Amino acid sequence: MEFLPLFTNLNGKTCLLIGGGQIALRKARLLRKAGAVLRVVSPKVIPELKSLMQPADELLSSGYDDSVLNGVFLAIAATDDEPLNRQISQDCHRLNIPVNVVDNPELCSFILPAIIDRSPVVVAVSSGGNSPVLARLIRSRLESSIPTSYGRLAHLVGKFRDAVKAKFSDIEDRRDFWEQTLQGPIAEMVFAGNDEAAEQMLSKAINQTELRPGGEVYLIGAGPGDPDLMTFKALRLLQRADVVLYDRLVAPAIVELCRKDAERVYVGKERSNHAVPQENINQLLVRYASEGRKVARLKGGDPFIFGRGGEEIEELAEHNIPFQVVPGITAAAGCASYAGIPLTHRDYAQSVRFVTGHLKDNSINLPWSELVHGQQTIVFYMGLVGLPVICEQLIAHGRNADTPMALVQQGTTVDQQVVVATLGTMVDAIAERPVKAPTLIIVGEVVALREKLAWYEKYDLSKPEL
């Protein structure tokens, strides 16, 4: 280990910054965020740096000499003058003042890492000065797994540390208590912005006579297929779950993102062939959560758009099971985007309507007269089997047979296929080629824009990224 990671308190301490350009500005912002008093030495200082300075700060335009090091807690050299940077480094080492020379690790006694700031939680990533760009890339990946609300959670824990210590004299009991707290409903309340309720629940939990793990359910929208379209929150909760119930429409690559030791339960449903009836799924969610387990209900698309999520949370609410609903990118948005079809466009469609291709009794008795208005895009979910009826009824109720339409198969995945035709020709078009679910049907003038906007098909997504 070339550098030992340390965190230091700069609040109210004088920090020397030699340089007045953009690099110095970036370092000044960082020091200012930590509460430092700035002493800036440079004949020329850009306006942005000047505006950052406060009355307690100093601006010395006469140039550098070692007298400016008096009373300094640390120093940063941010100039492009190599001899000057070396002199500053030598002076600081002689006076035992920590020094950082930007982009020159050999002259540094400390380095500035890439930072993930969730104050008071701070994560630092360093390459030892060898590759700051790599450190920033690692930081960007970590950003996605550390919610911005972790800072508020840390503040909440800080309020109750003494109370927990008084309640649990044994360090192992305290550790167990905090592990349950930081991975359970209390933390999730903070993440959802309900800090007051989280504080009340934590206070109540401390007064319980014993530790009891609490079960909960996460209804997670997995999106239309591409794992990269999952939200940060969806991924975080999925990787916490002890049990994962997943649908047929959830891509295998997404299921693989759950914990390796999690129990996986397939509850997929096809038209007229439900592997597990919905009522049984509802009961499974209640049963697993009642056992104290964290349950992820993983659904394709969005749980509340033709996903029957409403029925599932009704059952959970009746049994007082805590739950969260994590929205997902619905198939209409994802598939249309990857197919190069904007669902709305100022010149073609000012509204969009989502419709299920079959109802509860497997009929497709839809309000056809409402679906034929011009300047409107219609998206049919689960409409492959009923496609002939859809085309026939739209034409019969006044939609022009030349209206463009698209059928998207396995949208957003490497197996995506798009068939473009019209209301009058689509049935014949798919008769000449095998098409299988899941599919999405888009009807409207916006489909005509696909040839110009279909970015997805310009790339071979089956190949690794370069």
What is the spatial distance between Cα 235 and Cα 396, in angstroms, rounded to a whole number? 45
Element (H, E) at 430: helix 426-431
Catalytic pick from 13, 167, 233, 269?
Answer: 269
Q: Report DSSP letters for 235-266, one per residue.
A: HHHHTT-SEEEE-TTS-HHHHTTS-TTSEEEE
DSSP string, 343-384: S-BTTTBSEEEEEESS-TTS-----GGGS--SSEEEEEES-S
Q: Is 382 annotated as a binding residue?
A: yes
Q: Per the annotation, does 23 bind a ligand?
A: yes
Tell me the two tokens of residue 391.
Answer: 């085309």
Q: Number of C-alpha atoms within 13 angstroms, CB side, residue 425?
A: 10
302 labeled part of a ligand binding site: yes
Q: How far is CA 138 from CA 23, 121, 129, 130, 131, in A?
A: 21, 17, 14, 14, 11
Q: In the structure encoding, which two tokens stand for residue 200, read together?
A: 């009340």
| Rounded-to-integer distance, Cα 223 and Cα 115, Å | 30
Cβ atoms of 222 and 253 closer than 8 Å: no
- 44 labeled part of a ligand binding site: yes
Is 228 noted as a catalytic residue in this protein?
A: no
**Which residue has tokens 């979910």?**
381
DSSP state of 56: T
Q: Residue 411, annotated ligand binder?
A: yes
Rounded to an integer, what distance in angstroms lies between the CA atom of residue 2 and that of residue 25?
27
Task: Give yes or no for a cis peptide into 438 (omega within 30° of 0).
Answer: yes
201 among the known binding-site residues? no
Q: What strands, in cross-sheet order, belong to the sheet with 58-60? A: 58-60, 37-41, 14-18, 74-77, 99-101
Cα(186)–Cα(436) distance, rounded to whole angstroms? Answer: 44
Q: Is 247 considered catalytic here?
A: yes
- Specify whether the CB–CB gap between 330 and 381 falls below 8 A: no
The answer to whether 300 is annotated as binding is yes
* 12 is known to lie in a ligand binding site: no
Q: Which of 57, 226, 247, 294 is catalytic?
A: 247
Ligand-binding annotation for 214, yes or no, is no
Catalytic residues: 247, 269
Residues in binding site for NAD(+): 22-23, 43-44
Output the known binding site for S-adenosyl-L-methionine.
224, 300-302, 305, 330-331, 382, 411
